[in-house]
Amino acid sequence: MSLLNKEEYLSDQDSVNMMYEFSELMEELIEARSYLEGHLEGLEKEDFFFKCEESSLGSIAQCVGHLAYVQKELGKKAEADFSFRLDIYDELFSNIDIEVKGSELPSQAELLRFSKEIHEIFLEESRYKKKPESVFVLINQYYNHCLRIGKILEAMGKVPQAPRPDSIRVRLRLQEGSLPLYHLPVYAN
């Protein structure tokens, strides 16, 4: 999975017709981040870097890194002000499907701090640069990565902290031959 699939972009018409107020999207983004943190809570180092051998799910570390990368890049598209120093892991996390050796990854604490910093900058910048289409895409990325993390936890024989998002807006879309996806639907007026 590269940065974003074509179907994840909203056309100009879709973003105009989206029936979500910007404040609702920001609330949903905070909920999505909380859902992610619920999956990560209490994870030991070996679980954080565990790689599913029999599947293409990658590791939880890769999911967290890729999600931070996506959030930073979406923020940049929305003209958010991210420091160049936050580009340090771009090569590692720009594509979640590329296998990354554990020795190349930052420590668990560093990656979580990095992800949190990007999220906080995105939230702060979004207060001034309101781009609902970027927030919408990011919410869907959060839920999709959380589902992937849940599948990795299940492969380790662990139960995800929160089996499904605690949101009234999110739906589960089943796809043939692929992981189901949580998504925030687009409604037309």
Read off the pLDDT band of 118 (50, 70, 90). Answer: very high
Determine which of 6-15, 113-122, 145-154 has the lowest per-residue pLDDT on average: 6-15
Q: pLDDT, tens digit, for every residue of 55-88?
A: 677 889 999 999 999 999 988 888 888 888 888 8
What backbone torsions phi and psi does residue 97 show, to the nearest 5 degrees?
-85, -10
Q: pLDDT, tens digit, for every residue of 17-27?
A: 456 788 888 88
What distance in Å separates the CA atoms of residue 40 and residue 85, rounded to the nearest whole number? Answer: 25
The residues, ordered by sequence, that sit 6+ positions from 13 with a Cβ below 8 Å of its Cβ are none
Read off the pLDDT band of 150 (50, 70, 90). Answer: confident
CB 75, CB 128: distance < 8 Å? no
Q: Structural domains in the chain? A: 20-183 (1.20.120)
Tokens describing residue 183: 């998504």
Q: Provide the whole-model pTM.
A: 0.79
- Residue 171 is which amino acid? R
Percent residues over pLDDT 90 in the chain: 23
List beta partners, residue 160: none
